[in-house]
Every structure is written in structure tokens, then in C-alpha cells.
Amino acid sequence: AGGLLAREGDRRDLAAALAALLADPARGRAMGLAGRRRVEEHFDIRQRTAALEQIYDRVSASPGPPPGRRAGHRRPVLAAR
């Protein structure tokens, strides 16, 4: 298994899962290594940066206010003291 499951909001279930992990340090190490391997295989900072740059370019090139901002909405300004 790649992880532990606990029912949402069930503190006892979560505590039982964590207790099982504490009772088996080798399993915890194996899960940690598997998680790191998954991140290294599936997430690349260069790809994420390029994707975010594309989103930024699309949003900044579109006319009108940015998504989520109403027309006429003013941005707060901080004054230097």
C-alpha cells in the first residue's frame, strides 16, 4: 500500500492509523521513500514553472480585469512611512 487511510473527521481512525505506523518504523521509512520517488517521477519544477508562465501570459494578455477581480475594484495601496 502507498499510504494509510482514515475516515474523514474520525480522530480515532486517524489515531489508529498513526499508531500502526509508529509500531512499524520500517513501513514508515518505506512509505516515505515511495512518496519521494513518486514526487521525483511525476513532478518537475521546470515543467510546473513553464505551465505557470503560460497561465500568467494568457491572463495578462486578456482584456479586462483579471479573473476574480471586478471591474472598478481598486487594489489596496501601501504607503511608505
pTM metric for this prediction: 0.50
Q: Is residue 44 in a domain? A: yes
Position 81 confidence tier, pLDDT thresholds 50, 70, 90: very low
Domain count, the chain: 1
Q: Which domain holds residue 30?
A: 11-61
Tell me whether residue 57 is in a domain. Answer: yes
Give the DSSP per-residue string, 7-71. -TT-HHHHHHHHHHHHH-HHHHHHHHHHHHHHHHHH--HHHHHHHHHHHHHHHHHSSSSPTT--T
Element (H, E) at 70: none
16-30 residue pLDDT tens: 999 999 999 999 999
**Structural domain includes residue 67:** no
User: What is the structure's pLDDT at 66?
Assistant: 58
56 assigned to some structural domain = yes
Within a domain: residue 20? yes
> Do the domain assignments include residue 38?
yes
**Residues contacting residue 20 through CB under 8 Å, at least 6 positions apart:** 4
Lowest mean pLDDT among 6-10, 33-37, 61-65: 61-65
Instruction: With respect to residue 26, please indicate whether it lies within any of the assigned structural domains.
Output: yes
Q: Assign 47 a pLDDT band (cuts: 50, 70, 90).
A: confident
